[in-house]
Structure 1
Amino acid sequence: MSPQPATVPAMVRTRIRAAVRRPARVSPQEAEDRALLLRLLSLLLQYPDAGLASARPVLSATVAALPPSPAAEHLADFTAWFSGQEPDALERHYVEMFDLRRKSSLYLTYYLHGDTRRRGMALLTLAQRYRAAGWDTDGGELPDHLPVVLEFAALTGARTGEAPLRQHRRGLQLIHRALTDADSPYRHVLAALLTLLPPPTAGDLEAVTELAAQGPPTEEVGLDSYGTYGEGEFAQPGTFVPPEPAPPTLVPPLSTPEGPR
């Protein structure tokens, strides 16, 4: 987008930029196609367990039947690889890409807030957004896990449902860059997702480069304010997780000259 003239009032310039980045109105059929794309993205970014591996023929056929689009092309490239891998190889690759590498973790608030108290509040806000929309997750993953965010977007629609994706666009860009640097076929899934979002600004790209070089903010706290860690759920490598509280100390009853009370 070209810069607005300096003579345009600041409020007007802000509204113009917002209008450019706002999702365009779509027809019911386009909305349905977009929801299907988002649901496919959510599925393909989940851990490739036995159930997902057995569904590969259906997923490939669904991708092949998508209307032509850049996103569909990226997904076709991914499913061509996905369908030809042994299940155990898929599992190893997924763990290496998403569980062992910070720059391609699927937990989006990490890129925006790092290991700080603000991340706990961001998780709580996201969970409240889901509840306000009438969507109750099963609680198996943190609310910022990308497959969860994508499923919410598919169910709720572009304006409300995709707002968290737009908010975390820079994190998504970093994940795509990291997967590309690792030559992982999952880069095609992130590339497909990025085609559905507003194009990055120069500021976005600069921030992603800085994030890749310096990492997100750090702070020596855990995220127990959200009430998750300590129960076997995901914690970023290096995150401080407080120990479980010790059981209360039993105080003996007071005694009196007449004997114990």
Structure 2
Amino acid sequence: MPRTHATTLRALAALLAYPDDDLRAALPEIAQALRAERRWDARQKAGLQALVDELGQGELLEVQARYVELFDHGRATSLNLFEHVHGDDRQRGPAMLELMERYQRVGLQLAGVELPDHLPVLLEYLSCCEPAETPQLIGECAHVLRALGQALAQRGSRHAAVPAALLALAGQKGLDAHVPAAAPEDLDRDWEERPAFEPPAGRPQPLTVHRVKQAID
């Protein structure tokens, strides 16, 4: 597996993680990994660098408070992908179990406190797979990533650069800064009947997630 591809995905996963001292210490290495990615244009790299700079500035407690307010207080910006599809509906439980069963079938175990559908977990899993898996899986959940990125952009969050970068890696349509984000309840209603992942017709959905060490190796 090309080292650059794996490092890129781990760097993006790190930018979506809860900010702490370890993340701040790794920011120079993360920034270097993002600059080395050749599949992004200058605008996309500038957006990611702005996020890196923001995470490294100010009091850590303030950065952490912004993170919690952004990702933990609303479905529209949740990093748990099934939250956008099922919300608190009881269908979410079986979807989680299905993911866990897929992990077990390939001998993978989920460590830590994150749920199986947590976006950073998916990215870290993809960093352990062949590069061809990335456009496939990212493409299957592109509608969720696009709505997440749009919601983040409308809140003025530099974290919107991460979904935008992922969509670019998969060759998908990016964010549209000129279209106002719908209200959270409208997003929820629009997604209720849509699967989180849309596999190509006639092909089984091969989603498996594994929590790996978050360091940028």
Q: Look up the SS of the partner of 2:169 in the other structure.
A: coil
Decide whether aligned partners of structure 1 residues 131 and 63 sit closer, same or farther in structure 2, where only a CA change above 3 A counts.
same
- Output the amino acid matched with 2:156: D
Question: Of 197, 206, 212, which residue of structure 1 is paired with 2:170?
Answer: 197
Other-structure match for 1:121: 94
Matches of 2:188 and 2:100 in 1, distance apart?
25
Matches within 5 A, 1:197-236: 197-200=170-173, 213-216=186-189, 217=192
- Output the amino acid matched with 1:62: A
Q: Which has the larger displacement, 169-178 or 61-70?
A: 61-70
Map Cα deviations across residues 180-238 of structure 1 (whole Å, 9 max, x no partner).
Answer: 0000111112211121124249xxxxxx96976251449xxxxxxxxxxxxxxxxxxxx
- Count of aligned positions: 183
Matches within 5 A, 1:58-137: 58-67=29-38, 69-70=40-41, 71-137=44-110
Matches of 2:38 and 2:171 in 1, distance apart?
20
Decide whether aligned partners of structure 1 residues 98 and 160 sit closer, same or farther in structure 2, where only a CA change above 3 A counts.
same
Decide whether aligned partners of structure 1 residues 133 and 156 sit closer, same or farther in structure 2, where only a CA change above 3 A counts.
farther
Decide whether aligned partners of structure 1 residues 64 and 161 sit closer, same or farther in structure 2, where only a CA change above 3 A counts.
closer
Question: Of 130, 136, 156, which residue of structure 2 is paired with 1:157?
Answer: 130
Cα offset, 1:118, TM superposition: 2.1
Matches of 1:76 and 1:68 in 2, distance apart?
15
Other-structure match for 1:7: none
Question: Of 10, 21, 25, which residue of structure 2 is paired with 1:54?
Answer: 25
Q: Look up the SS of the partner of 1:88 in the other structure.
A: helix
Matches of 2:30 and 2:169 in 1, distance apart?
19
Matches of 1:214 and 1:112 in 2, distance apart?
9
Decide whether aligned partners of structure 1 residues 125 and 214 sit closer, same or farther in structure 2, where only a CA change above 3 A counts.
same
- Output the amino acid matched with 1:49: D
TM-score, scaled relative to structure 1: 0.61
Decide whether aligned partners of structure 1 residues 165 and 122 sit closer, same or farther in structure 2, where only a CA change above 3 A counts.
farther
Other-structure match for 1:224: none
Cα offset, 1:68, TM superposition: 6.2
Identity level (%): 31
Cα offset, 1:163, TM superposition: 4.7
Matches of 2:30 and 2:69 in 1, distance apart?
23
Q: Look up the SS of the partner of 1:195 in the other structure.
A: helix
Query: Does the Cα contact within 8 Å between 1:180 and 1:187 map onto a contact in 2?
Result: yes
- Output the amino acid matched with 1:40: A
Residue 43 in 1 paired to residue 25 in 2? Answer: no
Query: Does the Cα contact within 8 Å between 1:39 and 1:154 map onto a contact in 2?
Result: yes
Decide whether aligned partners of structure 1 residues 138 and 154 sit closer, same or farther in structure 2, where only a CA change above 3 A counts.
same
Q: Which has the higher contact order (CA 8 A, sep 6+)?
A: 2
Matches of 1:33 and 1:192 in 2, distance apart?
15
Q: Look up the SS of the partner of 1:183 in the other structure.
A: coil
Decide whether aligned partners of structure 1 residues 34 and 210 sit closer, same or farther in structure 2, where only a CA change above 3 A counts.
farther
Residue 172 in 1 paired to residue 145 in 2? Answer: yes
Question: Of 116, 125, 144, which residue of structure 2 is paired with 1:143?
Answer: 116
Mind listing any 5+ residue stretches in structure 2 that lack a counterpart? 175-180, 194-217
Cα RMSD for the two superposed structures:
2.8
